[in-house]
Structure 1
Amino acid sequence: MADDDLTKQWEKLHLSTEETTVVQFKIEGAHTNNSIQGKLCIIGRVLSERGVNNKAFRSTMSKIWRLEGWICFKDLNEQCFLIEFQSKKDKDKVLSGRPWCFDRNLLTIQEVDESMSINVVNFQYEPFWVECYNVPLAAMNEGIGIQIGESIGRVIRVDANSDGSTWGCCLRIRVAIDLHKPLLRGRVCVRPYFEAQREEKQQLQFGPWLRAQPMNTSIFDKRKYGGNLYNINREHNVYGSKEGYS
């Protein structure tokens, strides 16, 4: 009710001739410095229905990120922060490590767009790792991963080897998820020459099985062991080679 009254009051507002005078901005001198500063900044917002302790947020996130350089937090409102890094390396580390959480609430992050006001930044998409299980080995490749990912959101990349294979315990896809839509609990994927396998046991709609494996586990280890030939593919760490790298 109060919002309707405020809207009606704004509709009745009329500016005078002096108030409608256009102000021309001259930013040529400061444009270069602002561009450099903008490349080292991000805007973060904690998606929480209650307020956020700003002091606790600064202290907690700076410890979690473990950056090499300094970091500066500027409060925009109770749930939104302008975060400046000393180096681009630290900024890229935070962006590549998404998604982040604070106090069990999602921290959405957007890069700074100098042409837009901070108040109109749209926190609509956030990257997540999607893990697909029970995928036939013949379908565990980058191409299939892209097809599955596109049915969920915008595909950023597929966790694949240099040859495109993704053999492992699961198929991992980095996808930008629309936060304005309900979170998908799964997808049914069918290929013509694969026999559909259905479990007779009823699966729970929610539970521990939804929890993804953390990156620090050994199940995603792609290191190769043994061998006596020079390995051209330097993407992985190779142990036991007789001919070391030059």
Structure 2
Amino acid sequence: MARHLPYAEKGKAIDSQPTKAPPFRIRAPEIDTTQAILDNELTLIGRLTNPKEQKIWRLIPFLTRRWSAKGAVSCSDLSQSCFQVRFESKEDLDYILAHGPYHYARWMVIIQQWEPIISPNYPSQIPLWIELKSLPLHYWRKEMIYKIGGELGHLDDYEVTPLVARIRVTIDGLKPLIKETIVEFDSGEETIVSLEYEKLANHCQLCYSLHHEEHQCQNQSDQESYHQAPGTKDNAAREIRQQLPEPPKHSRNPPISHNITIPEQNSYKDMRNQRNYSEQGHKGLKRATQRRNPQVPRPPISGAPSTSVASETSRVPKARKTAHGRGAKPTPTTTDFHNPPNSLP
């Protein structure tokens, strides 16, 4: 039977998605911006990495209290998840840039010194300290440090001690982080160096992005056991049903696959009937045995009184229950037919 095609697949569905009007364009005039650039030298530009969890109107007072600058500080919202912070002292600005990175509501905050850049991806640079793991000890040298830092971003500083090797690199916060790198040597050998980021807040464990968590990841190239594309199970089930043979037209029920074996089980009714038959057979066998071997009465014992109607004991009445307890058991009496109890002597 042919599958029914919906209107959307036929191309006959009504387009219900609203079309957004294109933005209005304005041509900027030629302006000398030299003085404006000098006026904004003591300005920081910030960006939220997760606007759903971070709110600018809560972030601005939080940062001003935490920084506790010596001079005056003014902040404003620039929209599109960006904000600006203006300082009066260059000392305060340098101190804040040197003690980054910063995070709010368990998510990173990108803070960068203002530059005359016009780009939707500005600001994007965030400085991070990275500890190098699994790097051979005899390669803890300046040349190797500069090579790794230059490949990751812009190397700002580094620290090499007998116990640890760390680098401070300014990376692009809008791109996924790099957690591992393969270092190749001239001898043909290679090793995997792990990069452990310090002061790193929430991020995706699949694509290492700073803007969402695992359950919100849209990266389809990295499929994990707990991260599947929506509708994957339904598509697989649909494909399996399409591979099954179609049932005959005269039959309403689909055919049962021959590969499936259903074990035979006795129903409750059959088991009950079988038990009744066995009980009836047992009773019939008992009756037949009694008919074949009737019980012969035992001969009377010598010296014992003969059994007569007069000597038979009457039925013993049941003991009645009194208010104080069970009454005494009545003694058996014999019946005398010549002198009944109600007759006169």
TM-score, reference length from structure 2: 0.44
Instruction: Give me the whole-angstrom Cα distance separating, in 2, the residues matched to 1:135 and 1:90.
Output: 37
Change in CA separation of 1:101 and 1:93 when aligned onto 2, cut-off 3 Å: same
CA distance in 1, matches of 2:50, 2:126: 15
* Number of residue-to-residue matches in the alignment: 183
Give the superposition deviation at 1:107. Answer: 1.1
Q: Is the 8 A contact 2:41 2:114 kept in 1?
A: yes
Q: Is the 8 A contact 1:131 1:171 kept in 2?
A: yes
- Which residue type is aligned with residue 130 of structure 1? I
Using the alignment, how far apart are the partners of 1:38 and 1:85 within structure 2?
9
Amino acid at match of 1:109: I
Matched, 1:171 2:157: no
Corresponding residue for residue 140 of structure 2: 140
CA offset at residue 78 of structure 1?
6.4
* 2:170 counterpart letter in structure 1: A
- The change in CA–CA distance for 1:194 and 1:143 in structure 2 (over 3 A counts) is same
Which has the higher mean CA deviation after the structures are superposed, 133-142 or 88-97?
133-142
Matched, 1:41 2:43: yes
What is the aligned partner in structure 2 of residue 154 from structure 1? Answer: 154
Does residue 109 of structure 1 match 2:111?
yes
Per the alignment, residue 56 of structure 1 pairs with 58
1:52/1:79 contact within 8 Å kept: no
- Deviation of 1:90 after TM superposition, in Å, equals 0.8
Provide the secondary structure at the position in 2 that maps to 1:93. Answer: helix
Instruction: Give a deviation string over 1:59-113, Cα, whole Å, max 9, x none.
Output: 2112322322221111112632110012111111111222211111221123223
Alpha-carbon separation, structure 1, partners of 2:190 and 2:155: 26
Percent identity of paired positions between Structure 1 and Structure 2: 21
Counterpart Cα distance in 1 of 2:45 and 2:104 = 15
Deviation, structure 1 residue 132: 0.5
Q: 1:181 and 1:55 mapped to 2: Cα distance?
A: 26
Structure 1 residue runs of 5 or longer lacking an equivalent are 160-165, 199-204, 215-246
Is 2:182 aligned against 1:182?
A: no
Over aligned residue pairs, what C-alpha RMSD do you find?
3.6
SS at structure 2 position matched to 1:6: coil
Q: Deviations over 1:165-184 (max 9, x none)?
A: x2243211122222343211
Q: Which residue of 1 aligns with 2:21?
A: 6
**Residues 59, 194 of structure 1: alpha-carbon distance in 2 compared, 3 angstrom cutoff:** farther
1:79 and 2:73 aligned: no
Matched, 1:126 2:120: no
More relative contact order, 1 or 2 (CA 8 Å, 6+ apart): 1
Could you tell me how far apart the structure 2 residues matched to 1:113 and 1:195 are?
43
- Does the 8 Å CA contact 1:46/1:107 hold for their aligned counterparts? yes
Measured at CA, do residues 213 and 190 of structure 1 come closer, stay the same or move farther in structure 2, by a change above 3 Å?
farther
Question: Offset at 1:5?
Answer: 3.8
User: TM-score when scaled to structure 1?
Assistant: 0.60
Is the 2:131–2:164 contact (alpha carbons within 8 Å) kept by the matching residues of 1?
A: yes
Give the secondary-structure state (helix, strand or coil) at the position aligned to 2:167: strand
Mapped to 2, the partners of 1:49 and 1:80 lie a distance apart of 10
1:192-211 equivalent positions in 2, closer than 5 A: 210=196
Report deviation, 1:211: 6.0
Q: What residue in structure 2 maps to residue 97 of structure 1?
A: 99
CA contact (8 A) 1:54 1:78 kept: no
Partner of 2:207: none
- The answer to whether the 8 Å contact 2:45/2:123 transfers is no
Maintained 8 Å contact 1:40/1:88: yes
